[in-house]
Chains A and B, each alone.
Chain A
Amino acid sequence: MVNALPESKSKSTQACYSFFYCRNMRRIIAEDLDWSLATVSSLSNLCLQCIVNNFEERPIYEDLTSSEKDFIQNRVSLSLPLHFAANVFPDGVYWKRCCEQKWKVCDVSNYGESWKRMFFERQLENIVELFVPGITEPKTVLDMVTLCKDHIKKLNIAQLLPPVKEPQTEDEEQASELTLANEDDKSGMDHFDFRILLGKLTNLEELHLVYKVKSCGMNFEWSMFEMTNRDCESLAKALKSCKKLKLFRLHLSHLEDKKCRLLVKYLLDHTSLRTLDFSHNVIGDSGARAIGKLLTKSKLEILNLYDNNIGGPGAKAIAQALSKNTTLVSLNLCLNRLKDEGGQAICKALLNNKTLLHLQLGANGVTWLTALSLSSMLAQNNTLKSINLSCNTLGEVGGNALEEAMSRNTSVTECSIHLTDIEERRVSVINQMVWNNQFRKQETNPREKNTENAN
């Protein structure tokens, strides 16, 4: 083919031939974002990659710049041993990757924007939740604690497993049916002993506990949903050793008077406790008396006893404490059995109290008598901000009293009187007055968030 062409010695034609026959020159750059003529990355990147690959043997981290540190944190393997990683990496991308690998939903705002904290708190929660007393080694808990005790601020433990029960033979079963269940027998069902844990967590500020077993299905037994006496005692002692604890919540655990008193005994001298939540238990009057004592001694700010069995005498004890208390800000006694005896006692106590802001007395079986004492209290008290009297049959008399009270009071900005058998027209009047109060406050103050949400 080449020979057939006439001879022409010009350079450009020869170049033409070479273009055609040696099609090596690429003239079009592809729209491939990863395409680059440089196939070799920069030396610093290569070095960093090398560091990443050998990180376990030679952890070079402290001497790097911050962008290099980010590079390493982004790429280093997630299967590094935990004690090693905990010492080397401060809060950052590495922990974010760990969290997202382990758990599907990660909302770091619940953990003070710290991924490291989220990781360790959730790890520890997991370990405690899966701890089977008698089978799991306490060492697993202790090892984790030594790694992370400075990072744990809040623990939300959603289940506590009882020890595994040996399947009884038939004879034993028959024998156990005939004997009465003795309280002492329950000692075999002790849950996780918190004494090994809480004392070591020096930064712990919040502790949420539930004595229940998730998804127990048909293996339900009552003992899975309550504490034993020994549990209670060890928990109380553990709480005492936890010096920075600010919030303690023990709900849905069938906490009755005896155990409540035991816990309160150990909490009496606790200096930092500010929030106590014993909701959804079975505390009665005797437990309420203990709590009243706690109110006088400690600096509690928020007390939540929603859904218990407190009656008139218990409420009287609390009211007595309330009249002398100067720290309590929020008190929730909804869904108890206060009745008018208790309700009136509390209202009378508030005549002297100048710090309580939120009071919830809903669903307590109080009637117009309590409403009357409440309205007389409101005439003098101008610190109380929110009241909840819903699900009590106050009737017309009660409604009248409340209306009268609201017309004179200027501090109450939230008043919940749903399902109280008050006439609708009157309810709207009361609401309007409360709304005016709120609006007036809004004008003078900058925007405040609405914090009404009882539970």
Chain B
Amino acid sequence: DFELTREPESSSVAKATLTKQTLQDYVFILICPTFTAQRIMGLQKRLTTLVTNIQTAADAKEMERRSGMEDNCKIRYERLKDDAKACQEKVEEIRKGWSIVTQKVVYSELQSVLDSQQQLCAAVIEDKKKLIRELQRERRVKEDQYLKNLRRLDEEIKLMLDRMQQQFQNLSKAYREELTQLQVEADLSHKGALNDFYSSKEVKNLKTKYAKQKDKFMKQRQYLSEVHKRSRQHYKRIQKEVRYTTAADARKFEEMWATMEEEVTQLAEKALAIDSLICKHLGLAWERPSAASMESPGPCRSQEHDTNPTSHPLQTRHLPHCSQRMMDASVGPSLERDSEHCTGVEEGELSSEMLMKVMELLCDETGFLVEDKLWKLLAPMEKNEQTTVKLHSLFAVLGLEEKDLAKLAEFLLMYKRQQEEQTEVRLHTELSIPCLFLCVSRSSLSHPARDTSVEEAYWDRLGNIITEDKLKLWDAAERELKQYE
């Protein structure tokens, strides 16, 4: 079915034959019945013969070379023999010529004989030289042939390697296909066995058991989801209540404050009026204490949150007193930017977008807090992950928790608004941010010890609107008055 061409003149021809044969192989494989063992055997045989064909061709060439060499040897031998014979004849002649020396002859005769001898010798030498040249030429031809032979052998070896490579590939492909086919068959038989196994009675019990278990789990699942839903609703309701109550408390507090304030101011006014009267009577100058001392800090400031630490971030209301702390200028403008984007922020309701922005802000600003090694690790991660990791580290360092994040964000917003309202010039220091955090943490972690100093001062002031001296004066006046009675 295939034959290596007798003399592959060039490697391209050899390659052409190679592809033709592999094509034939493939055709054979396709047409052959699917019985794999036979197919593989055939494949093995064909591919191996492709490789050994090269060897056979080399053998044939070698035989030709040998026969050629034998012929050449014979020819050369003949020629050398002829040459030797001819040479021998000539040498005989020369020898005969020397015999003349023994005879007595004329000088000229001797001379001519000598000349002829010389010529004969020269002829012999010439013959020999010719022979040498011819043999040398033959040798050069042989050398060229040898080189050509070596090149041819090299090509043949390359071809053989190619074919061996192809053989490996084809055979391994065929083996793999056979393997998959066997596996498929094994699978099928295995499945068949399993089915048989399962369809038998002993295994039916397992099936019912399994079905029962499944039902049970489904029911449990449903029940648990109901419970979950209900508890969520409950939680929401409680949250609403808390909010409502805190709002109500705040309102009540405000009202109380207002009434108290009114009462106190009334009393204060009364006292001042009396004071002025007394002074007038005593003939002292009286001046009204400055309006500043009567300034009320407002009801908002003094709200207690001790009862509900995890409640609503209404506490941010009293954080503005921290606004007297310095804040970094950069936070300000960036917050400005952010707040421009956000729609009105209600208490306790922060858009997640804001939250994200705040977190990013934190990240960027507190970059210096993050260690170098962490930077290196973070480098390959995405931006979002970076943010998260950084925040985690920061909060871990500072002891914050996630829930505080919301408070933090709101505080920042509050502060921002404050900044816009107030016109005071702020001093900036470098570490204001950590200070800020500390304040935040302090205010949110620790049950905030309210800074009630201002309120205290206010009440004190109002309480002491009539000073000690005045009181003494009043006492003295009273004593005097009593004396008069």
Interface residues of A (CB under 8 A from B): 1, 4-6, 8, 10, 12-13, 15-17, 19-20, 23, 25, 27-28, 30-31, 307, 334-335, 362-363, 365, 390-391, 416, 418-419, 424, 427-428, 431, 435, 438-439, 442, 447, 450, 452-455
Contact = CB atoms under 8 A, between A and B. Distances in A.
Contacts of B1: 427-428, 431
A30 B371 CA distance: 12
Given A391-B60, A419-B6, A13 B438 contact: yes
Nearest to B3: A424
Contacts of B472: none
A454 B398 contact: no
B210 to A, nearest CB: 43
Nearest to B61: A391
A442 B36 CA distance: 12
Contacts of A419: 3-4, 6, 56-57, 60
Closest 8 CB pairs of A and B: A10-B446, A363-B59, A391-B60, A390-B56, A12-B445, A27-B396, A13-B442, A418-B56
Interface string B43-68: 01100110111011101101100000
Contacts of A28: 374, 377, 389, 392-393
B56 A335 contact: no
A450 B3 contact: no
B439 interface: yes
Contact of B52 (A13, A19, A452): A452
B41 A438 contact: yes
Nearest to B60: A391
A16 B56 contact: no
Given A8-B442, A447-B37, A27 B393 contact: yes
Contacts of B429: 1
A13 B449 contact: no
A365 B63 contact: yes
A418 B397 CA distance: 86
B63 A391 contact: yes
Binding site of A, secondary structure by majority: helix, strand, loop or mixed? loop
15 contacts: A1-B429, A4-B325, A5-B435, A8-B449, A10-B445, A27-B396, A27-B397, A363-B60, A390-B56, A390-B59, A391-B63, A416-B56, A418-B53, A418-B56, A431-B1
Contacts of A390: 56, 59-60
A42 B446 CA distance: 45
B283 interface: no
B4 A23 contact: no
B395 to A, nearest CB: 10
A346 B52 CA distance: 24
Contacts of A439: 38, 41
Contacts of B399: 12, 15-16, 19
Contact of A10 (B6, B41, B392, B442): B442
A23 B371 contact: yes
Contact of A442 (B37, B55, B434): B37
Interface string B367-381: 000010110010000
A454 B55 contact: yes
A335 B59 contact: yes
B401 to A, nearest CB: 11
B441 interface: yes
Nearest to B57: A419
A431 B46 CA distance: 11
Contacts of B478: none
A13 B445 contact: yes
B52 A454 contact: yes
A16 B441 contact: yes
Contacts of B431: 1
Contact of A363 (B62, B434, B438, B446): B62
B157 to A, nearest CB: 14
Contacts of B63: 335, 363, 365, 391
B434 A20 contact: yes
A374 B371 CA distance: 90
A17 B446 contact: no
B397 A20 contact: yes
A425 to B, nearest CB: 10
Contacts of A20: 397-398, 434, 438
Contacts of A391: 56, 59-60, 63
Contact of B441 (A13, A335, A428, A431): A13
Contact of A16 (B42, B62, B398, B449): B398
Contacts of B49: 416, 452
B115 interface: no
Interface string B312-338: 000000000000010000000000000
A28 B44 CA distance: 60
A322 to B, nearest CB: 22
A450 B45 contact: yes
A17 B438 contact: yes
B451 interface: yes
Contacts of A453: 48, 51-52
A452 B53 CA distance: 12
Given A12-B446, A419-B4, A442-B41, A23 B52 contact: no
Contacts of B3: 418-419, 424, 427
Contacts of A418: 3-4, 53, 56
A19 B56 contact: no
A336 to B, nearest CB: 10
Given A418-B53, A419-B56, A454-B55, A5 B389 contact: no
B484 to A, nearest CB: 53
Contacts of A450: 41, 44-45, 48
Nearest to A424: B3
Nearest to A15: B399
Given A418-B4, A435-B45, A455-B55, A13 B446 contact: yes
Contacts of B434: 20
